[in-house]
Chain A
C-alpha cells in the first residue's frame, strides 16, 4: 500500500484519541512518572510527554508483557483441566508516540516469536496493536539508529508516523492498511500535506559504524577472552539492559498457585548467571564476560544469521539505563575497529 501523507494539528489529534478510546482501544504513550518518561496508559493527548529523546522502557510490553499468563490449570480427582487464554479478549491498543527505532523493533520481536511454531499470544497482541510513531526532532549521544538500518524519520514498523513540523501541526504518514483503518471515519480531522517539510524537522544522526562489518568482526573476536573481559569488567550482571531493550525477548516460564494455578511467561535476561545454569551445577557461560559476549553475538551475529534481522535498533536505552555505563555504541564501535 502506498503511503498516504496528510497533516493533522494537535487539537484534531486530541479528537482522534477520543475516537480511538470510544472504539474500545486503550492508548499507551510516553508519560512523565516519578521524574522519568515511560510508557503508560493515557486518557488524553495532554498526558503525553514527547519532549524527551527517548523513554526509559521500550513499548514491547504491548506485545510481550513483563508477566503474562500462558494458561491456567485445575487439578481435581487425578484429572487436570487446562484453561487456555481467550485471545479475543486481549485489549486493543494504540501505541502512540514511540520513536522510529521502537517501531522497527517489532520486526525483530516478530522474527523470534513467529518463526517455527508461531506464538499465538504474541501474534494476537501484535494484530491488536496500532503503532503510531512520532519521528525524532532531536537525538542524543546514545542514539545510533542510522548505524543499524534505521533513521529518525523512518516509517518501517509504524502504521502511522507523525512528524511535528512546528506550531502544533504534524505531518501524518499513513503507512499501512492497519493505519488506514485506525483513521477510518476521521478524514475530517486531517488536512493536506502539500509542501510540508519532513527532513528539515528530523534530527541528524551520523552513522557511527558499518553494520556489515560487525558480524565478521565478532566472529574473529569470539575467542579473544581478554577483549570480552576488558569490555565487561564493570558490568554487574543485572537485567536492566535486557528489560528496557525493545528487541530483547528472552523469557522464563514459571508455574504458580500449586496444582490449580497458572503457567506464566516472564522476562528473563542472558546477563543473569542463572540463565544457562544446569541443575547439575554446570554452566556453559559461567563468566560475566561470556554473558556479555553472548548479548552482542545474539544481537549482531546470531539473529542476522538465523532470523535475517538485527537484534538491535540503536535506541540507546540499554546504555542510558545501565547503572555502570556499559555503552553499547562504544562497544560495538570498538568491535568494528578491532584488529583481529
Chain B
C-alpha cells in the first residue's frame, strides 16, 4: 500500500519494454526503493495509478501475477496524453506507481472448479494476472479454458505467452481473429469471440467464467454464457471507468453507489445487474 499520503507515488524503474502489438506495450517495473519492493503485496484483479511525472497518471490493472514477486507489469495501448508519454519511455527510466487499489478476483473460492477465461483485444491484460496466478497454483483448479480474440493477428497481445499456453497440456487455449483479420498461416479460429464461445460450448457445471473485453464483446458474450447455463454469480468481469485518485475521493468513477476504484474493478454479472446501467 502507498505510504500515508495517498497521492504520493512510489518510484519504479522500467526494467523491460515489450512491444505486444501495434501501439500496445508492456512495461516491467522494479521498485526503486528496495524496502518498498519487499513490503509490496497485491492480489490478482487489483490496479494501480501509473505516473509519468509532468504528464499525469493513468489507470491500469497490474498485469503480472502476485505469485511472481519482485516486479509488477502493466500493459497499455497508446491512446492519450499519459499513454503516449509512457510509450516513449526506455528501460532505465523512472515512473511513479500508486497502489494496489481495488478489489480482487476471489480465486480462493474458485478452487476445485473449472475456470473459463474469455477476453478480447486489449482486455487480455486484466486477465493475464489471474490466468498466471491460477496457472502458478495449477493443482488447485480443474479444467482451465482460455478463449481470446482480437481484430487481427497483429492485434493479439502477449503472443509469446499465448504460445506458451498453447503448448501446455493442462490448458485449453482457443484463439480467434475477426473475419478478415486472419493471415495466410493462421491456424486458430476465425470469428467474433461470442460466436467462437458458442461454438466450443464449454460446460457451465462447476465452472467460473471471467470475461474482459470491449463493451460490444461483453454485450454479446453474456447471453451466450446464459444459454450455456452460467449463473450470474459465477460470471466475473472487470469494469473500467475514468479514474484519477483511485481511492474513492475524486468522485468520478462511480456507477451508482459503487466506486469502481473501491468496490471494483471486479464485479460479478449478478452485481452488475443490480447497478444502474451507467458505465
**Residues of A that sit less than 8 Å from B by CB:** 70-71, 73, 75, 78-80, 82, 84, 112-113, 115-121, 222-223, 249-255, 257-261, 263, 265, 268, 270, 275-280, 282, 284-285, 290, 294, 297-298, 301-302, 305-306
Contact = CB atoms under 8 A, between A and B. Distances in A.
Contacts of A115: 248
B242 A278 contact: yes
Contact of B252 (A80, A259, A276): A276
Contacts of A79: 94
B11 A82 contact: yes
A116 B54 contact: no
Contacts of A249: 249, 251
Closest 9 CB pairs of A and B: A250-B251, A117-B6, A279-B80, A259-B54, A302-B257, A258-B54, A80-B94, A279-B79, A117-B247
Nearest to B214: A280
A285 B277 CA distance: 10
B53 A73 contact: yes
Given A79-B94, A280-B79, A253 B252 contact: no
Contacts of B6: 117-120
Interface in B245-279: 245, 247-257, 262, 276, 278-279
B69 interface: no
Interface residues of B, number: 43
Contacts of A252: 244, 250
A290 B7 contact: no
Contact of B241 (A251, A257, A284): A284
Given A249-B249, A259-B53, A302-B257, 8 more contacts: A73-B53, A118-B6, A223-B276, A252-B250, A253-B7, A258-B54, A276-B252, A285-B278
A253 B278 contact: no
Interface in B203-252: 215, 240-242, 244-245, 247-252
A306 B257 contact: yes
A41 to B, nearest CB: 27
Main secondary structure of the interface of A (DSSP, over half): mixed
A83 B5 CA distance: 12
Nearest to A71: B8
A192 to B, nearest CB: 45
B54 A75 contact: yes
B254 A116 contact: no
Contacts of B256: 297, 302
B9 interface: yes
Nearest to B10: A82
Nearest to A115: B248
Nearest to B93: A78
A69 B244 CA distance: 15
A250 B250 CA distance: 5
Q: Which residue, A222, A268, A305, A306, has most C-beta atoms of chain B within 10 A?
A: A306
B250 A84 contact: no
B247 A254 contact: no
Given A78-B93, A82-B9, A278-B242, A302 B250 contact: no
A305 B263 CA distance: 14
A268 B11 contact: no
A116 B247 contact: yes
B57 A253 contact: yes
Contact of A298 (B11, B54, B94, B251): B251
Interface of B: 1-2, 4-9, 11, 51, 53-57, 79-80, 83, 92-94, 96, 215, 240-242, 244-245, 247-257, 262, 276, 278-279
28 contacts: A70-B5, A70-B7, A71-B7, A73-B53, A78-B93, A78-B94, A80-B53, A82-B8, A113-B249, A116-B262, A119-B6, A250-B251, A251-B245, A251-B251, A253-B56, A254-B56, A255-B56, A257-B54, A263-B51, A270-B251, A270-B252, A276-B253, A278-B240, A278-B241, A279-B80, A297-B256, A298-B254, A302-B256
A250 to B, nearest CB: 4
A223 B278 CA distance: 11
A244 to B, nearest CB: 17
Contact of A80 (B11, B249, B251): B11
A74 B242 CA distance: 27
Contacts of B4: 120
Contacts of A84: 5, 8
Nearest to B261: A116
A320 B9 CA distance: 40
A82 B53 CA distance: 10
Contacts of A297: 256
Given A112-B249, A253-B56, A302-B257, A284 B279 contact: yes
A253 B241 contact: no
Nearest to A280: B79
Contacts of B93: 78
Contacts of A222: 276
Given A71-B7, A259-B54, A301-B257, A253 B80 contact: no
Contact of A255 (B55, B94, B240, B278): B55
A222 B56 CA distance: 34
Contacts of B251: 112, 249-251, 268, 270, 298
Contacts of B53: 73, 75, 80, 255, 259, 261, 263
A298 to B, nearest CB: 7
A65 B272 CA distance: 36
B183 to A, nearest CB: 26
B19 to A, nearest CB: 20
Nearest to B79: A279
Nearest to A297: B256
Contacts of A276: 241-242, 252-253
